[in-house]
Amino acid sequence: MRARFLWIPMLIVALVALPACGGGDGGTLKIAILAPLSGDVATFGESTRDGAMMAIDEWNADGGVLGKQIETVVEDSQCNAEAAVSAANKVIDQDGVKFIIGEVCSSASIPVSEVAMAKGVLQMSPTSTNPSVTVDEFGKTKGLIFRACFIDPFQGTVAAKFALDNLGVKTAAVLLDQGNDYVRGLAEYFRDAFEAGGGQVVVWETYTGEDQDFSAILTKVKDAAPDILYLPDYYSTVNLIAAQAREKGVTAVMMGGDGWDSPDLDTSVVEGGYHTNHYSADDPRPEVQDFVSKYQEKYGAVPDALATLAYDATNILLLAMEEAGSTDPAAVAKALEDMSFDVVSGNITYDELHNPIKSAVILHIQDGKAVYMDTIAP
Ligand code: PHE
């Protein structure tokens, strides 16, 4: 008699649980996107979100991943360590996410990687280029952390070699935000490669993320009259420094890194300059041109490197899940390590530090546009 009554609560539990795992269709899988959607580098976040969402929409239209529809949780992590850590904790603890796409900025991705490792969550940064994102202070690879981009020792070397060999320059001034992992790292890698190749760094000056007035350090640049002025910061800061440099009469050719990639880069003040990047929309490869037209149709804009790498990062992650046949982060990490991916920004195979070996492109700011110049293989 008693056993018959037990059926009733069990039936209720089963009926409540069924819709939560999506009935017969395999349920849903939550993925978080952490990106700066407000503040100084908001275009980075918008492009990242749009690129990742485009990939997810395509997978969902195609039946999802492992039969599950993908649900996204998007958080504004502001390209900043504190905001990114609380966003990571929120999506993991409250939303129950086991996979994070993001952050964009290395200074945010590095602390997020620590949260992800401690909580057994897989992180895939589309665009954070500092080595410390995937490797800890003892040189050990963080098992659940991956990226879809090359790293800054390569990016800095490409810029230095291009300046020395293609532009034939001999001297450089380097200005850097010492408190920003990406900026400081890229400045140092550039300097090391520039000097190793016979160039001379004649000005090396630091500023902080709060500075607005760069006249004191720009006076030093003006007096040293270097051939190039290397500005390895994000577009918003580059806009400020470059405008003040021009006002002061600095005539050096300006150069920078992927941080220049934004529709809001003030091309009037960096006209004639060069920057390294992950990809160019002018690349004639059919994978690139197909993606550019699909993206343009959906969003009405040409995808920048952030959109493209977020699209690639999302596809890589989902392909690895399919291959692993599992949504267990450790199993997906193992699949990522073993696979090779042909995506829009090139081929991605992971080395033992979870870094893809990929080419960089050089873009030239000409008549207000970033024009494709060259592709440099590792
Ligand atoms: N590489 C930058 C970082 O690590 C982020 C970035 C990538 C910015 C691509 C613009 C374009 O902080």
308 lines ligand 1 (CB under 6 A): no
Token pair 């500092």 is found at: 130
Among residues 287, 348, 302, 278, the alpha carbon closest in space to that of 47 is found at 302
Pairing label, strands 122-125, 145-147: parallel
Q: Is the pTM of this model over 0.85?
A: yes
Helix, coil or strand: residue 263 = coil
| Closest C-alpha to ligand 1, atom 5 | 105
* 162 and 248 housed in the same domain: yes
Ligand 1 atom nearest to CA at 304:
11
* pLDDT value, residue 3: 46
What is the C-alpha to C-alpha distance for residues 50 and 314, in angstroms, rounded to an integer?
11
CA 216 / ligand 1 centre spacing (Å): 27
What is the C-alpha to C-alpha distance for residues 235 and 43, in angstroms, rounded to an integer?
10
265 lines ligand 1 (CB under 6 A): no
* pLDDT value, residue 25: 62
Q: Is 4 a domain residue? A: no
* 302 and 338 housed in the same domain: yes
CA 12 / ligand 1 centre spacing (Å): 50
State the total domains in the chain: 2
* pLDDT value, residue 26: 80
Q: Is 3 a domain residue? A: no
* 251 and 177 housed in the same domain: yes
| Closest C-alpha to ligand 1, atom 10 | 259
Give tens-digit pLDDT for 102-119.
Answer: 999 999 999 999 999 999
* 109 and 184 housed in the same domain: no
Among residues 165, 147, 51, 144, the alpha carbon closest in space to that of 358 is found at 147
Q: Is 378 a domain residue? A: no
Range of the domain at 34: 9-150+282-358
Number of C-alpha atoms within 13 angstroms, CB side, residue 308?
27
* pLDDT value, residue 72: 98
pLDDT beneath 70, residues of the chain: 1-25
232 lines ligand 1 (CB under 6 A): no
* 266 and 307 housed in the same domain: no
CATH code, 349: 3.40.50.2300
Cβ within 8 Å of residue 366, ≥6 positions away: 271, 272
* 233 and 160 housed in the same domain: yes
CA 104 / ligand 1 centre spacing (Å): 6
Last residue in a domain, options 277, 302, 330:
277
* 195 and 258 housed in the same domain: yes
Assigned token pair, 107: 């200074």
* 160 and 142 housed in the same domain: no
105 lines ligand 1 (CB under 6 A): yes
* 56 and 157 housed in the same domain: no
Assigned token pair, 255: 């150069």
* 162 and 142 housed in the same domain: no
129 lines ligand 1 (CB under 6 A): yes
Q: Is 162 a domain residue? A: yes
Pocket test for ligand 1, best of 50, 104, 151, 304 (most atoms within 8 A of CB): 104
261 lines ligand 1 (CB under 6 A): yes
Compute the Cα dihedral for 328, 331, 336, 342 and give only its sign.
Answer: negative
Among residues 158, 198, 195, 154, the alpha carbon closest in space to that of 174 is found at 195
Helix, coil or strand: residue 138 = coil
106 lines ligand 1 (CB under 6 A): yes
Query: For the stretch 110-120, what's the b/e string if a residue is b when 16 or more beta carbons lie within 10 angstroms of its beta carbon?
Result: bbbbebbbeee
Q: Is 65 a domain residue? A: yes
Torsion of CA 178, 238, 109, 149, to 10 degrees: -120
Using an 8 Å Cβ cutoff, are 305 and 278 in contact? yes
47 lines ligand 1 (CB under 6 A): no
Q: Is 370 a domain residue? A: no
Cβ within 8 Å of residue 310, ≥6 positions away: 33, 35, 47, 48, 49, 50, 51, 52, 55, 101, 126, 127
CA 9 / ligand 1 centre spacing (Å): 53
* 232 and 189 housed in the same domain: yes
Q: Is 365 a domain residue? A: no
132 lines ligand 1 (CB under 6 A): no
What is the C-alpha to C-alpha distance for residues 126 and 44, in angstroms, rounded to an integer?
11
Ligand 1 atom nearest to CA at 108:
12
Q: Is 368 a domain residue? A: no
Last residue in a domain, options 215, 242, 277:
277
Using an 8 Å Cβ cutoff, are 129 and 360 in contact? no
* 62 and 132 housed in the same domain: yes
Would you tell me how many other CB atoms lie within 10 Å of the CB of residue 259?
28
Cβ within 8 Å of residue 336, ≥6 positions away: 146, 316, 317, 320, 350, 354
Q: What is the DSSP string of 228-261?
A: EEE--S-HHHHHHHHHHHHHTT--PEEEE-GGG-
125 lines ligand 1 (CB under 6 A): no
What is the C-alpha to C-alpha distance for residues 86 and 82, in angstroms, rounded to an integer?
6
Last residue in a domain, options 277, 297, 322:
277
327 lines ligand 1 (CB under 6 A): no
Helix, coil or strand: residue 121 = coil
314 lines ligand 1 (CB under 6 A): no
E strands in 268-359:
274-277, 340-343, 346-349
75 lines ligand 1 (CB under 6 A): no
- CA 232, 262, 258 angle in degrees (round to 5)? 35
